[in-house]
Amino acid sequence: MVALDEYPVGVEEKHLRPLDVRRDLGDVADLIEIAFSSQMDPDGKEYLRQLRRMAQDTQWLQWASGLVDRSPIPVSGYVWEEQGRVVGNLSLIQINQRGVRTYLIANVAVHPEYRRRGIGKALTQAAVDFARRRGCHTARLQVREDNPGALRLYQDLGFFEVARRANWMNVPDTPPVRHETRAVVTYRYASDWPQQVRWLQSIYPPQVSWNLPIHLSGLKPGFWQSFLRLMDGEILRHWAARLQGRLIGIVTWCPSRSSSDHLWFAAGPESEEEALRTLLPAVMRKLPRNRSLTLNYPAGQAVQALEASGFHNSHTLIWMEKDLVRTN
């Protein structure tokens, strides 16, 4: 783990210090649960269980203290302490994208009894200062659309919006739907790939795809790709929508070890509504209905088609960045 510098101690910052994974991990898990319990999905609850297991594993804690700061487990970050009690937390995760290093600011949590005292702002500023000292050009974070207070805080600190993504979900007990559509559902053909990958690159651009479980090269058709996926125990299924013989959209089902399986949808803006209304009901009829399905999609796009197909927006995340090179 790259050790964080001690944050300069002043009148307001005297309670802020770097995270010590060997003694803080359990307190951080408790704080995250208190701060985000109303928003936590099954995957979030599993994440907390992992944190608590790690906090009790002395051998793992010794090993984690030597990790580089790229782990999804919060081994780097800052905490805010009041009278020996951790009441604020921020995690830092290093990201290397196309050879460029940046930091993701995550798990910014303040105990409800200590909010509106500037603790969240001090933690975030400490993370920004650290990333700048490390020579990074940007810092990143994500905030829920329904958290306007946190959004204003990050805007005041110079973060700006780069993407807004909706997480659409279909749960197993959703009644099946059918739409009147002119398109038909077929297999995906190898010749569809060039168009599919162009659509995917537009819908899942680099600024968001790095944080999603999607790897475009793994969706490519061909014997070798299929063989590699089979060796990894990964089975994908693809369906295409065609209108008068013309490809208008493709959806890929990808099973996962989390609480939901993933759908990756590809279409152009002129055909996304009809493609969704054609493909999603067909996919839900073809797949076993014992698992939830999630679809990450640009917020505000194809809302009517998604809702009409039995999906609901579980939350919308705003991705934000801060330029660490400019000083004004």
115-165 per-position pLDDT tens digit: 999 999 999 999 999 999 989 999 999 999 999 999 999 999 999 999 999
Query: What is the pLDDT averaged over residues 282-301?
Result: 92
Q: What is the DSSP letter of 216?
A: G
Distance of CA 211 to CAs 6, 39, 97, Å? 29, 19, 11
Domains of the chain: 16-136 (3.40.630.30), 167-315 (3.40.630.30)
- Give the whole-angstrom CA distance, residue 184 versus residue 281: 12
Strands (DSSP E) along the chain, which ranges?
16-18, 77-82, 85-97, 100-110, 138-144, 160-170, 184-187, 237-243, 246-254, 260-266, 292-298, 312-323
Taking every pair of C-alpha atoms in the chain, what is the biggest distance, in angstroms?
70
Taking only the tens place, the pLDDT of each residue in 195-211 is 999 999 999 998 888 88
320 bridge partner residues: 141, 161
- Give the whole-angstrom CA distance, residue 171 versus residue 123: 37
**Whether 262 contacts 291, CB under 8 Å:** no
Inter-helix orientation angle 148-156/119-133, to 10°: 40
Residue 237 confidence (pLDDT) above 70? yes
| Predicted local confidence at residue 294, as pLDDT | 96
Helix locations, 92-236, DSSP H: 119-133, 148-156, 193-203, 206-209, 223-231
Angle ∠(221,224,229) on CA atoms, nearest 5:
80
Between 40 and 1, the higher pLDDT residue: 40
Other Cβ atoms within 10 Å of 84 Cβ, number: 5
- Within 8 A by CB and 6+ apart from 135, the residues are 101
- Give the whole-angstrom CA distance, residue 49 versus residue 69: 21
Q: What is the DSSP letter of 19?
A: -
| Predicted local confidence at residue 168, as pLDDT | 97
Length of the chain: 328
Between 24 and 188, the higher pLDDT residue: 188
Residue 76 confidence (pLDDT) above 70? yes
Backbone angles phi, psi at 293, to 5 degrees: -120, 140
Q: What is the DSSP letter of 20?
A: -
Residue 295 confidence (pLDDT) above 60? yes
Residue type, 196: Q
Q: Whose CA is closest to 159, among 327, 325, 328, 323?
A: 323
pLDDT above 90 coverage of the chain, percent = 56
The model carries a pTM of 0.85
- Give the whole-angstrom CA distance, residue 307 versus residue 153: 32
Residue 257 confidence (pLDDT) above 90? no
Tokens representing residue 188 in the block? 């995906």
Query: What is the pLDDT averaged over residues 305-309?
Result: 95
| Predicted local confidence at residue 195, as pLDDT | 97
pLDDT above 70 coverage of the chain, percent = 86
Find the range with the poorest average confidence among 19-23, 98-102, 188-192, 268-272: 98-102
Instruction: Give the β-pairing of 260-266 and 184-187.
Output: unpaired
- Give the whole-angstrom CA distance, residue 166 versus residue 318: 9
| Predicted local confidence at residue 75, as pLDDT | 61
Taking only the tens place, the pLDDT of each residue in 7-61 is 544 435 578 999 888 888 889 989 999 988 878 888 888 888 888 887 777 665 5
- Give the whole-angstrom CA distance, residue 258 versus residue 260: 6
| Predicted local confidence at residue 68, as pLDDT | 46
